[in-house]
């Protein structure tokens, strides 16, 4: 019943709904409707009640609990919520191995062993960020999997732009930046044989409502949050559900049309170009990052004049400042 009420309120957000309409739609008395509204208010929903006009949902609480989440999560996909996990990516891989469907989402209020790429760690402050992983089963060749990181980054920047209007940028392939500081990172891990992908887990870590003092000293100069940049808190619920919905939308579009060029075109609105050093996998070069090509590879014009197309996830690309 609670889910149903939240769903109806959400689809009429900002619009008044009379007690009569709600009691008819839900098949309960007006007194019962009133009681549910009272409970939802005590859980942080901002609902106004005006005589003769009815109830209006003004805003949702900053809670990522499933009862709120499910109402926003399109396609009735599986949702696994945890107060605390080592890593949502690890949990998602476990579920994927057990056969969970594509689109399954794992979300945690905090992670104690959040992972970055190449063995690095990810700071996941309790109750202040979006720490989540999406299981995908793309019908794509394993050699194309780098495209999924591009899709994750695009879904994240599009959502952040719509919800906050902040000037968000992508540093290839997986760093989402605002004013030169990292606000979000993406970690894709896949299980595949030579020709086929079994599953891919896309982990997204987004600093939503962290304050400066929440970051450990070593991250203070290089990391930021949406709240720090915009000056006001953002709904983690809206961020998480919108990003997850957007990832699945773009994936469906790609699988139906095979048209990756539209994804690239959109991505290009946000990409950071400029001088970089690319290193790893036996390579160490400096040059000009020109942006991604039609396959999602980074085009790097090296100082020696070679034009490289980098797709390996084992290569790190760092901006070179002051040049
Ligand atoms: C990433 O790695 O940027 C991928 C981060 C993915 C995290 C998500 S959270 C949900 C899911 N479950 C997981 O266990 N992981 C995923 P990388 O490019 O390697 O960046 C890692 C580096 O970013 C660290 O070495 C720090 O310097 C920095 N860092 C760590 N925590 C940060 C944070 N909260 N905000 C900004 N930078 C951070």
Q: How far apart are CA 279 and CA 266, in angstroms?
A: 27
272-309 residue pLDDT tens? 999 999 888 788 899 999 999 999 999 999 999 999 99
Contact present, 267 and 91 (Cβ < 8 Å):
no
Residue nearest to atom 27 of ligand 1 (CA): 219
Q: Which residues sit with their C-beta closer than 6 Å to ligand 1?
A: 87-89, 111, 114-118, 120, 122-124, 131-133, 174, 182, 185-187, 203-205, 207, 219, 223
- Give yes or no for residue 315 having a pLDDT over 70: no
The pLDDT value given to residue 2: 79
Looking at residue 50, its pLDDT comes to 84
Distance between CA atoms of 199 and 204, rounded to whole angstroms?
16
- Residue in this structure with the two tokens 């919800």, named with its chain if needed: 163
Residue with tokens 């995908």: 136
Confidence bin at 237 (pLDDT 50/70/90): confident
Greater model confidence, 278 or 131:
131
Confidence of residue 323 (pLDDT cuts 50, 70, 90): very low
**Mean per-residue pLDDT for 4-8?**
85
Q: What is the mean pLDDT of the chain?
A: 91
Q: Give me ligand 1 centre to Cα 207, in Å.
A: 10
């Amino acid at each position: 019943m609670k889910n149903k009420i939240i769903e109806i309120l959400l689809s009429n957000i900002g619009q008044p709904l009379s007690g009569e309409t709600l009691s008819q739609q839900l098949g309960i008395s007006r007194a019962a409707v009133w009681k549910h509204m009272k409970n939802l208010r005590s859980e942080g929903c901002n609902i106004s009640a005006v005589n003769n006009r009815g109830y209006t949902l003004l805003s949702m609480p900053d809670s990522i609990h499933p009862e709120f989440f499910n109402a926003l999560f399109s396609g009735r996909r599986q949702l696994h919520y945890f107060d605390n996990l080592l890593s949502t990516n690890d949990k998602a891989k476990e579920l994927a191995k057990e056969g969970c469907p594509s689109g399954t989402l794992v979300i945690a209020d905090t992670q104690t062993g959040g992972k970055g790429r190449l063995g690095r760690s990810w700071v996941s402050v309790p109750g202040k960020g979006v720490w989540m992983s999406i299981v995908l089963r793309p019908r794509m060749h394993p050699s194309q999997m780098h495209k999924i990181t591009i899709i994750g980054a695009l879904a994240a920047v599009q959502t952040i732009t719509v919800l906050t209007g902040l000037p968000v940028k992508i540093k290839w392939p997986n760093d989402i930046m605002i004013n030169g500081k990292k606000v979000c990172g993406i970690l894709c891990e896949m299980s595949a044989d030579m020709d086929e992908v079994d599953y891919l887990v896309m982990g997204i870590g987004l600093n939503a409502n962290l304050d400066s003092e929440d970051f450990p000293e070593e991250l203070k100069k290089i990391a930021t949050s949406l709240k720090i940049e915009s000056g006001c808190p953002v709904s983690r619920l809206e961020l998480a559900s919108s990003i997850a919905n957007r990832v699945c939308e773009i994936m469906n579009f790609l699988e139906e049309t095979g048209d990756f060029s539209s994804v690239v075109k959109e991505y290009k609105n946000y990409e950071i170009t400029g001088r970089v050093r690319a290193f790893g996998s036996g390579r160490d070069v400096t040059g000009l990052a020109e942006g991604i090509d039609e396959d999602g590879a980074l085009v790097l014009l090296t100082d020696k004049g070679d034009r490289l197309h980098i797709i390996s996830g084992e290569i790190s690309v760092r901006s070179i400042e002051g040049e």
